[in-house]
Amino acid sequence: MVFVRTTPPRPVDVTAVFPELAPLARPAIRLHPRPGSPSVGDSSVGGPLLWPAEEPWPHCEGEHPDSGFRQSPAEVRLTRRRLARLHRDPDGPEFTPEEEAIRERDAARHAKRFDAGPPRPAECPVPLLPVAQLYLRDVPLLRPPGEADLLQVLWCPYDHEPDWKPATAVFWRSAASVVDVLATPPEPYEANYPGYVPEPCLLAPEAVTEYPNSLDLSPELRQAVADWSRWQAAGVDVDSSYAEDPAEFYDGNLADAPGWKVGGWPPWGRTDPYHRYCAVCDARMVPLLTIASFEWDGGERRGWAPYEDRDAAYAAGHRAGQSPAQPTKVEVGSTDNMQLYVCPASPEHPHTDLIQ
């Protein structure tokens, strides 16, 4: 089923107030992931990948600290479905027969592992988990190398030093070249954290235009955006509560869009802008994909909620773990964003990532 998500127009035409921003406009595609049952032929978050049966599944060979978390990806997803079911039907059974079977299977798996004393995760290559699959037909902003028309992103669901974030892997491929699809990819024995297990989601890609966060502006333009008199002179309808810090209004409502997206501008805030450079050719890298903990927040960024989600976004509250702003159930950092960057000279050069 095809679904649509539509970002409301921004409350102010920012280039009418600051014409200097016009040359800084960048295209982006908001992915709008929403829970569903994607197939290997769909663009998705957390869905199955169009992975060749003859190609080895990627594994992580790095160090994997023991977090004490003892759930497999299947058990994480089961817990989410069960909580959602009980939210819809509080008088329903504590566990359905299917849920009980999965629960018992995971308990037996853990008991067998620790009774027999098998190697710890740190001593084993860890199968990577699918994070996103994006077809060029759905996300034309992608710039794949050669004949490729498909981007696949995976990660290891463990924190990795020194930045304590999942290790990511990026693959470009031609969908037409995949004849036999890997039917049952391996999964990690357990995840470091449930927020590293994406919930399967279909996408409703939407093209938008973004402007840089105020931290990315030149000192002169940053000063102009922070000048309340410029806003007043333009006669735009901006709440006077922003008079002390109009840049806050700009960043929250007019600059970069929140949520999962391709391209656009980075969502700075946790740190000052931290430009990334290609390890091969030293070119300044550009944003490829933003992996977001939330599609919008409960404050002023709620204004980015699509028309179709407005009722849910402005509802009075939600059961823990059931927020419509977190359809993927992904959490990185302290509910931050992870940005993947690629080299503009060659997408085949190694990518990099950054928690922000």
Claim: this prediction has a pTM higher than 0.85: yes
pLDDT at residue number 355 = 87
Is there a contact between 32 and 38 (Cβ–Cβ < 8 Å)?
no
pLDDT at residue number 316 = 54
3-state secondary structure 245-288: CHHHHHHHHCCCCCCCEEECCCCCCCCCCCCCECCCCCCECEEE
Is there a contact between 221 and 230 (Cβ–Cβ < 8 Å)?
no
pLDDT at residue number 95 = 84
How many whole angstroms separate alpha carbon 172 and alpha carbon 61?
21
Per-residue pLDDT at 17 exceeds 80: yes
Mean pLDDT of 208-216: 95
Mean pLDDT of 97-119: 69
